[in-house]
Copies of this chain bind each other. A is one copy, B any other.
Amino acid sequence: MWPDTRINALFGIELPILQAPMAGSQGSELAIAVSEAGGLGALPCALLSIDKIRAEMGIVRQRTSRPVNLNFFTHTNPEPDAVREAAWRKRLAGYYAEFALDANDIPAGPGRNPFDDAACEVVEDTKPEVVSFHFGLPDQKLLDRVKAAGAKVIASATTVAEARWLEEQGCDAIIAQGAEAGGHRGIFLGDDIASQPGTMALLPQVVDAVSVPVIAAGGIADHRGVAAAFMLGASAVQIGTAYLQSPEATTGPGHRAALAEARDDRTVLTNVFTGRPARGLVNRIVREAGPISPDAPAFPLATGAIAPLRKHAEAAGSADFSPLWAGQAAALGGTLPAGEFTQRVAAEALKLMGRR
């Protein structure tokens, strides 16, 4: 028996293990495996067209009757800034030359779609049990529609202040995203990444500050992290990186190879891939142009300039320009099938807590 079953009851799941949505490294396959195992699978929609979201949700609904989480980014696309874009392309010029690319041929582009009316229609049509947001929440009208569609709404908080704000806006649960977490920081009330707390400090302070259940994220990659999160007051955990090497993930070969050699001290927060700070393993572009560059265009505009470098490098078997998203506990992850991992980590956490 889990020390806290609020999330299990709220979402209608057996195991308080949420699979973190990881845009670009997974689709319906991973979500289905985790949901079928009793956890909560997630389908990240930030990189998908509306048609693709609909198609993927169709596959999910065909293959599992268990609850699923549909995940969206809630940024506002910025006005393009020609000066910054030019500075960034100048910074990348040497790399374009390496691949004989003409910088003028490379379109600028957002690369990420924020949650909007069309996405909301998919939610209304496919009725996911849970909808999660990253970078805050959509506007009230859209949020009301999501709730009216029957979805429980959750979102990431990187600070106590963000957790309080999300609770006030009506979130049913809060994801406390500690600084260890891989991928994009969910930070939305400020932009100071230097003061972002780690999970051990953030989690109990968020638990004390809000009355809704709290989902722990960041640095959790095995049963020990799950048990620790419950001791700190979590009602569930969200695990991302540990699923990246599973056969159900679509993680590329270069990314998988980097994860297999991951170390505790080889990730940094970088903005070179998208314009927003996100945690990944250090590779050539991060080392040489980052980790944080003031020239990188605002999120998600930075995506366009890197895309062709990544494409050409990956075609040549190199991960030098690929975002190698990973949390600080990446080295604890393995290659187990996602369903087996989900059930094992839950069973071992219960045993460790003396509750099996």
Residue numbers of A with Cβ under 8 A of B are: 158-161, 178-180, 190, 192, 194-202, 204-205, 208, 218-222, 224-225, 227-229, 231-233, 263-269, 282, 291, 327-329, 331-332, 352-355
Contact = CB atoms under 8 A, between A and B. Distances in A.
Contacts of A205: 264, 329, 331-332
B228 A197 contact: no
Given A159-B265, A204-B332, A354-B353, A198 B224 contact: no
A195 B231 contact: no
Contact of A225 (B192, B204, B266): B204
Given A190-B265, A202-B264, A204-B224, 8 more contacts: A158-B265, A194-B291, A195-B282, A197-B265, A198-B219, A200-B329, A201-B219, A224-B233
Contacts of A219: 197-201
A201 B264 contact: yes
Given A264-B205, A265-B161, A354-B353, A198 B233 contact: no
A266 B200 contact: no
23 contacts: A158-B265, A159-B265, A178-B198, A180-B200, A194-B268, A194-B291, A195-B266, A197-B264, A197-B328, A198-B328, A199-B219, A200-B218, A201-B328, A204-B222, A204-B224, A205-B264, A208-B332, A224-B233, A228-B228, A228-B231, A228-B232, A353-B354, A354-B355
Given A180-B200, A202-B328, A224-B233, A195 B354 contact: no
